[in-house]
A and B are shown apart, each in its own frame.
Chain A
Amino acid sequence: MDWSALRVSLWLGAGTILVLLPFGLWLGRLLALQQFRGKLLLEALLTVPLVLPPTVLGFYLLVTFGARSPLGQAFQALVGQSLPFSFQGLLFASAIANIPFVVQPIQRGFEAIPADVRDAAACCGLTPWQRFLRIEVPLAWPSILTATILTFAHTLGEFGVVLMVGGNLPGRTRTLSIAIYDRMQAFDDRSAGVMAATLLVIAVATLMTTTALSRKVGVRRV
């Protein structure tokens, strides 16, 4: 078991959630509550990471931020390292790849709140912020949790983008999924097997939790 790889995977999963959750809450709610021109296009764009091969995302990130690009060189001059081949770069790529996993469930969660319940909250004298915290979030909570767990599981399974953007650097960008590949290349099937089993257990646990939660969502409606 490559413990540093497990650590990188867990940090990547947690980091992606931390970065995306505020964004997802804001955008998911916006899409649920507002109509505007171009909304359909925006929703389609947000779904794109779902259907694109991860290598495409990796390719564009390398081209845009790699050491050969002006943006990448500026970044390097500013921060002292390149964006690809760093954990931060991986986090950035992972965040983009996971946008649909965060925004869509949260959007559905907010959409499911009846409009007159929100109106009633306003008529109760609750400010917009109070409405959000005390009425909307508690009612959308199962969806928010689903988004979180789905994103975490998806990140753990990420391979293509991680390999292209991260480069398999131990302790930095070598995630558990990469480590499995790495160990197989070294004909170390035993280690690969242990790590694969770990990922499998996490995946099953995730699915069980989301299934249980989605049952809870149904109860909420009066």
Chain B
Amino acid sequence: MSERHLSVALKQPGPIPLDVEFDCDAGQVLAIFGPSGSGKTTILRSIAGLYRPAHASVRSNGVTWTDTASRTFVPPHLRAVGFVFQEYALFPHLTAEGNVAAALGHVPHADRRLRAGQLLESVRLGEKANRRPQELSGGERQRVALARALAREPAVLLLDEPFAAVDRQVRRSLQDEINALRRTLDLPMILVTHDFDDVVRLATRVLLLEGGRGVANGPVTTLMSRPDLAWLREAVGLGAVFEATVSGSTDHGLMLLSFEGGMLLAAERHLPTGTAVRVRIPAREVILAMRAPEGLSLHNVLSGRVSALHSDPGLDHVIVQVAVGALLLLAEVTQDAVDRLRLAVGTPVHALVKSVSLDIITPARD
């Protein structure tokens, strides 16, 4: 299996400012996260060849799709790109099957219907092949759009705010669907979103975008443990995100999670032992103590060391980063507390977390 790889570099001062550079490997989901108007959709369109920035370089699997330096430009219909548009952009005059078949130009005519049917089956829409988009629900349309994007046998899958138009419940099941696909497809996937929930649930890496400029790029866990990303803090609220494994249950209805650095107790979710999950601990929910306390209601006391402190004039508190084994936790603490406890880099400290504060995200990363 060839290693599919996408590398992108875009730069222009205007009319839409852009300044990003990133890679995405097969099997990875890169989430491009930023507020509305930060140029996220433009990046996707540039990868697809629907937009041409002043300076751009887009390479997929070693094939150059765009290179302004050498004036190379492959038109969008000749790029193996699967694009799921924000409002799905289904062809209203064609059935679900027709929509998917439109992308099957590379398949011999006789096989197209069959193949389209198979693709619709894979997104659980087999019986609705003959329906028009008007007759489908929002979630069903999204799945047709997905099937159509995959029909091209693309080298890269692009998703533009794919869950923006659906409600919470449908969103969850769609997220799971994409996760399942990620495992089977082995493609670089790029997901644009302004909802951090998508990032936490789906992404392996995050590119943070502000005004068209990439301000941070890295694995989700790493980025979420950085205390200094002011904009992220305002948009989402800080809190470490990390991987853990379910290792059992207690007699008292709590779930045991083990991570690289210790154990945590969380509210029971009846997950089988060995399930991999992602855990998010909002910084606001973390209390620091110099000594391990006794007689408290909470269950989680983690020992570690202060690894970083961050404050800026706009903040009325300090963000303290605490290293607990390989995990970097964040805690929001008042300046007064910092002074009283004499917190500094290297100070041993205990981090206290209520079991109910743990946000468990399943299914998890592989």
Is B102 an interface residue when CB atoms closer than 8 A count as contact?
yes
| A222 and B90 form a contact (CB under 8 A) | yes
Is A124 an interface residue when CB atoms closer than 8 A count as contact?
yes
| A120 and B83 form a contact (CB under 8 A) | yes
Question: Please, how many angstroms separate the alpha-carbon atoms of A127 and B77 in the complex?
Answer: 6
Please list the 4 inter-chain residue pairs (A to B) with the smallest Cβ-Cβ separation, ordered nearest first: A120-B89, A124-B103, A116-B89, A122-B76
Is A128 an interface residue when CB atoms closer than 8 A count as contact?
yes
Is B346 an interface residue when CB atoms closer than 8 A count as contact?
no
Contacts of A139 in B (CB 8 A): 91-93
Give the interface SS of chain B, mostly helix, strand, loop or mixed: loop
- Take A123-B48, A125-B105 as given contacts and tell me if A220 and B93 are in contact as well, using a CB distance cutoff of 8 Å: yes
Beyond the given A123-B81, A222-B133, please list 13 additional residue pairs across the A-B interface where CB-CB is below 8 A.
A116-B87, A117-B89, A119-B83, A119-B89, A120-B91, A124-B103, A124-B148, A124-B151, A125-B106, A126-B102, A127-B77, A131-B77, A220-B93
**Which B residues form the contact surface with A (CB < 8 A)?**
45, 48-50, 75-79, 81-83, 85-87, 89-93, 102-103, 105-106, 133-134, 148-149, 151-152
* A172-216 at interface with B (beta carbon < 8 Å): none
Question: Please, how many angstroms separate the alpha-carbon atoms of A122 and B86 in the complex?
Answer: 16
Question: Please, how many angstroms separate the alpha-carbon atoms of A123 and B65 in the complex?
Answer: 13
| B77 and A125 form a contact (CB under 8 A) | yes
* Shortest distance from the beta carbon of A139 to any chain B beta carbon, whole Å: 6
* Shortest distance from the beta carbon of B147 to any chain A beta carbon, whole Å: 12
- Take A124-B152, A125-B106 as given contacts and tell me if A220 and B89 are in contact as well, using a CB distance cutoff of 8 Å: no
> What would 8 A/B residue contacts be, using CB atoms closer than 8 Å?
A117-B89, A120-B89, A121-B102, A122-B75, A123-B50, A123-B149, A125-B103, A130-B105
Contacts of A121 in B (CB 8 A): 91, 102
Question: Please, how many angstroms separate the alpha-carbon atoms of A122 and B103 in the complex?
Answer: 9
Contacts of A119 in B (CB 8 A): 45, 48, 50, 76, 83, 85, 89
Contacts of A138 in B (CB 8 A): 93
Question: Please, how many angstroms separate the alpha-carbon atoms of A124 and B102 in the complex?
Answer: 6
| A122 and B50 form a contact (CB under 8 A) | yes
Partner of B85, one of A120, A130, A135, A221: A120
Contacts of A221 in B (CB 8 A): 92
Is A134 an interface residue when CB atoms closer than 8 A count as contact?
yes
| A128 and B89 form a contact (CB under 8 A) | no
| B85 and A116 form a contact (CB under 8 A) | yes
Question: Please, how many angstroms separate the alpha-carbon atoms of A114 and B85 in the complex?
Answer: 12
**Contact flags A5-32 to B (C-beta < 8 A → 1, else 0):** 0000000000000000000000000000
* Shortest distance from the beta carbon of A140 to any chain B beta carbon, whole Å: 10
| B87 and A134 form a contact (CB under 8 A) | no
Question: Please, how many angstroms separate the alpha-carbon atoms of A10 and B79 in the complex?
Answer: 48
* Shortest distance from the beta carbon of B65 to any chain A beta carbon, whole Å: 13
Question: Please, how many angstroms separate the alpha-carbon atoms of A50 and B86 in the complex?
Answer: 40
| Nearest CB in chain A to that of B136: its residue | A222
Contacts of B151 in A (CB 8 A): 124
- Take A123-B81, A126-B102, A126-B105 as given contacts and tell me if A117 and B76 are in contact as well, using a CB distance cutoff of 8 Å: no
* Shortest distance from the beta carbon of A209 to any chain B beta carbon, whole Å: 20
| A123 and B91 form a contact (CB under 8 A) | no
* Shortest distance from the beta carbon of A86 to any chain B beta carbon, whole Å: 42
| Nearest CB in chain A to that of B153: its residue | A125
Question: Please, how many angstroms separate the alpha-carbon atoms of A123 and B50 in the complex?
Answer: 9
Question: Please, how many angstroms separate the alpha-carbon atoms of A117 and B90 in the complex?
Answer: 6
